[in-house]
């Protein structure tokens, strides 16, 4: 039995960061002080999973016990020993069932911890499955206070578990700044492939992986400043892994003319407990769309074709209606105050109407609070030479057309709130690509039209990744990735990150 494990990893290819300075060397430089720990990656992962398990037990037990107290407080006469024993048995059943579901759905699997939304999706799935089964059980064996468990334990427990995982992830990200991640990796491939993998890992997966070295095919530039230890001898990867104390090897591409390289590397890593990770170049393809199917020793990767109709999209529409309707009712006083402030700040109407392009190229009237002077459109041609926007976007820092209160609203995206009406009537969605202007769409390349396959959104990948500071290609990649790989759980994560961006806005002008 081999001690190594092969994991297929897909790089979505949606971010662009500054290029890294790497240097090739045939020596074995000493690893950084932070990496000289005796604790291996598997040991750190096991300890982290034990912490998660203890947190899960505490949260599940607390919400189950809390829900059981409500009927007892409402009816103190029911605090008999038999009743207390019955409630204790129900609490134990809920905790045991919930923890079992969290285990069955592998919510603490090392492959999903601290990366992407899969961890959160599994928590949602396991929780809904738990209470679905409990609901059936409570019908077959009537429990007088069952409704309180569904009204309190389910929402509070789900929120608590998701928040707890997010807090643990933030904690681990802070730890990764000192070189402490769940897995320390060495990347193998060409210079471009290695730089890409390092950028992606540092951008969004630093808690799970820290790149501590690389082996680059045909590496050069030996005299440049050292970023991470780099070698150019592909046949001695196992030795370099041992020298750095790495926990895993990411193979970013098969070296030219060496089709059996991965197989040979796997043999070389036998007995070291080092994980072998294969990174594919399937751009804009998220993990849930990829399935590995071995056929007579040949590993075939099945990639699901994106679907733009069906039940999942109907569920997204239901979510849009409920959330936008509730937001309009709750924010009605705020919307009224903002409208008055807009009109007091500069002459003109409170709302700005503009034609935008929606799903399948259809046009609609989008509503915003007016943040510019009423003659802003007439001044546009005179300002085109000052455009700082990327590609088809037109943006100017310190735009002279923007009013004083309009600048404040733009910074915190308050001018976008009237679009809740566009969401309610079906022109837009809560999450989606940025709604483009007709003149922008006329300049689209063929592949960019895929942004129009779904409804545009009030927020989306563009808004939470830098907005106007992104170049055109990066913004297109973000939107295309979302169009083909969106999910309701992913939408909730984007909404959560949007609220965080509103506190510390980046690229809003």
- How far apart are the C-alpha atoms of 122 and 37, rounded to whole Å? 32
What's the average model confidence in pLDDT over 279-305? 66
Q: Does 58 have pLDDT greater than 50?
A: yes
Q: Which of 20-24, 43-47, 163-167, 310-314 has the lowest mean pLDDT?
A: 20-24
Q: Does 160 have pLDDT greater than 90?
A: yes
Same domain, 373 and 482: yes
- How far apart are the C-alpha atoms of 278 and 7, rounded to whole Å? 6
Contacts of 164 (CB under 8 A, 6+ apart): 52, 55, 56, 59
Q: Which of 126 and 252 is assigned the larger pLDDT?
A: 126
Percent pLDDT > 90 in the chain is 27
Same domain, 375 and 445: yes
Same domain, 380 and 343: yes
Q: Which of 229 and 94 is assigned the larger pLDDT?
A: 94
CATH number of the CATH domain containing 246: 3.40.50.1980
pLDDT band at 292; cut points 50, 70, 90: low
How far out from the chain centre does Cα 89 lie?
Answer: 38
The enclosing H or E element of 184 equals strand 183-189
pLDDT band at 375; cut points 50, 70, 90: confident
Same domain, 106 and 255: no
Whole-angstrom Cα Rg for the chain: 27
Q: Which of 305 and 216 is assigned the larger pLDDT?
A: 216
- How far apart are the C-alpha atoms of 81 and 89, rounded to whole Å? 12
Same domain, 170 and 219: no
Task: Give the end of a domain, one of 260, 280, 303.
Answer: 303
Does some domain include residue 454? yes
Same domain, 338 and 477: yes
Q: Smallest Cα–Cα separation from 3: which of 52, 32, 40?
A: 40
Does some domain include residue 277? yes
pLDDT band at 103; cut points 50, 70, 90: very high
Does some domain include residue 286? yes
Cβ proximity of 454 and 433 under 8 Å: yes
Same domain, 208 and 229: yes
Residue with tokens 């590609």: 391
- How far apart are the C-alpha atoms of 136 and 142, rounded to whole Å? 10
Query: How many domains does one find in the chain?
Result: 3
Contacts of 8 (CB under 8 A, 6+ apart): 277, 278, 280, 290, 292, 299, 301
Same domain, 199 and 162: no
3-state class (DSSP) for residue 173: helix
Q: Which of 186-200, 269-283, 333-347, 471-485 has the lowest mean pLDDT?
A: 269-283
User: Residue 14 has what pLDDT?
Assistant: 32
Same domain, 23 and 78: no
Does some domain include residue 474? yes
Task: Please give the mean pLDDT across all residues of the chain.
Answer: 79
- How far apart are the C-alpha atoms of 269 and 264, rounded to whole Å? 9
Q: Which of 32-36, 61-65, 211-215 has the lowest mean pLDDT?
A: 32-36
* Domain span including residue 465: 311-503
Does some domain include residue 168? yes
Task: Give the end of a domain, one of 252, 275, 303.
Answer: 303
What's the average model confidence in pLDDT over 127-142? 88
Does some domain include residue 160? yes
Same domain, 292 and 429: no
- How far apart are the C-alpha atoms of 487 and 493, rounded to whole Å? 10
User: Residue 384 has what pLDDT?
Assistant: 67
Residue with tokens 């990893």: 9
Q: Smallest Cα–Cα separation from 281: which of 146, 409, 189?
A: 189
What's the average model confidence in pLDDT over 427-451? 89
Task: Give the end of a domain, one of 149, 175, 201.
Answer: 175
User: Residue 431 has what pLDDT?
Assistant: 94
User: Residue 141 has what pLDDT?
Assistant: 80
User: Residue 112 has what pLDDT?
Assistant: 83
Give residue 266's region: left, alpha or beta (phi > 0; psi -120 to 50). Answer: alpha
User: Residue 221 has what pLDDT?
Assistant: 55
How far out from the chain centre does Cα 156 lie?
Answer: 22
Does some domain include residue 298? yes
What's the average model confidence in pLDDT over 420-446? 91
Q: At what angle do helices 118-140 and 488-503 cross, to 10 degrees?
A: 120
Q: Smallest Cα–Cα separation from 435: which of 414, 469, 458, 416?
A: 458
Q: Does 507 have pLDDT greater than 60?
A: no
Per DSSP (E only), the strands in 371-423 are none
What's the average model confidence in pLDDT over 76-104? 81
Q: Smallest Cα–Cα separation from 280: which of 247, 302, 265?
A: 302
Q: Structure tokens of 358?
A: 């929606």
User: Residue 109 has what pLDDT?
Assistant: 87
Same domain, 221 and 72: no
| Torsion angle, alpha carbons of 358, 461, 350, 427, to 10 | 20
Q: Give pTM, 2 decimals.
A: 0.65
What's the average model confidence in pLDDT over 260-275? 82
Give residue 196's region: left, alpha or beta (phi > 0; psi -120 to 50). Answer: alpha
Percent pLDDT > 70 in the chain is 76
- How far apart are the C-alpha atoms of 237 and 70, rounded to whole Å? 61
Q: Smallest Cα–Cα separation from 153: which of 204, 82, 91?
A: 91
Cβ proximity of 11 and 277 under 8 Å: no
What's the average model confidence in pLDDT over 90-96? 91
pLDDT band at 158; cut points 50, 70, 90: very high
């Amino acid at each position: 039995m081999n001690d190594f494990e092969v994991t297929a990893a897909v790089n979505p290819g949606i971010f662009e960061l500054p290029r890294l300075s790497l240097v090739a060397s045939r020596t074995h430089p000493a690893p950084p002080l932070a990496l000289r720990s005796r604790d291996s990656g598997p040991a750190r992962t096991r300890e982290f999973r034990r912490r998660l398990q203890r947190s899960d037990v505490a949260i599940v037990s607390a919400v189950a016990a809390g829900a059981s107290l409500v009927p007892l407080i409402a009816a103190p006469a029911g605090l008999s020993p038999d009743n207390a024993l019955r409630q204790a048995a129900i609490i134990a059943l809920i905790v045991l069932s919930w923890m079992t579901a969290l285990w069955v759905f592998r919510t603490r699997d090392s492959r999903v911890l601290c990366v992407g939304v899969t961890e959160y999706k599994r928590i949602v799935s396991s929780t809904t499955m738990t209470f679905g089964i409990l609901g059936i059980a409570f019908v077959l064996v009537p429990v007088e206070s069952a409704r309180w468990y569904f009204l309190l334990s389910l929402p509070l427990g789900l929120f608590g578990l998701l928040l707890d995982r997010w807090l643990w992830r933030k904690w681990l990200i802070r730890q990764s700044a000192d070189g402490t991640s769940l897995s320390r990796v060495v990347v193998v491939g060409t210079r471009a492939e290695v730089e890409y993998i390092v950028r992606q890992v540092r951008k969004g997966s630093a808690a799970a992986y820290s790149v501590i070295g690389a082996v680059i095919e045909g590496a050069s530039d030996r005299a440049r400043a050292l970023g991470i230890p780099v070698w150019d001898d592909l046949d001695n990867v196992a030795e370099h892994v041992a020298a750095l104390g790495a926990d895993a090897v990411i193979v970013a591409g098969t070296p030219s003319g060496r089709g059996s390289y991965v197989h040979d590397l796997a043999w070389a890593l036998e007995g070291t407990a080092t994980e072998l990770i294969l990174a594919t170049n399937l751009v804009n393809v998220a993990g849930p769309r990829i399935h590995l199917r071995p056929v007579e020793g040949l590993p075939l990767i099945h990639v699901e074709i994106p679907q733009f109709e069906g039940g999942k999209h109907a569920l997204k529409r239901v979510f849009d209606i409920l959330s936008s309707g509730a937001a309009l009712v709750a924010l009605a006083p705020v919307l009224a105050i903002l409208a008055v402030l807009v009109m007091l700040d500069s002459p003109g109407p409170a709302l700005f109407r503009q034609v935008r392009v929606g799903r399948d190229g259809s046009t609609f009237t989008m509503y915003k609070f007016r943040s510019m002077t009423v003659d802003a459109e007439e001044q546009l041609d005179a300002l085109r030479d000052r455009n700082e926007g990327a590609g088809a976007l037109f943006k100017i820092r310190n735009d002279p057309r923007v009013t004083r209160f309009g600048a404040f609203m733009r910074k915190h995206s308050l001018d976008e709130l009237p679009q809740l009406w566009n969401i309610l009537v079906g022109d837009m969605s809560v999450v989606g690509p940025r709604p483009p202007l007709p003149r922008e769409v006329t300049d689209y390349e063929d592949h960019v039209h895929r942004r129009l396959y779904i409804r545009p959104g009030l927020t989306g990948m563009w808004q939470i990744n830098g907005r106007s500071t992104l170049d055109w290609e990066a913004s297109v990649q973000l939107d295309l990735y979302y169009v083909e790989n969106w999910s309701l759980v992913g939408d909730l994560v984007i909404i959560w990150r949007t609220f965080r961006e509103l506190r510390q806005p980046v690229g809003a002008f």
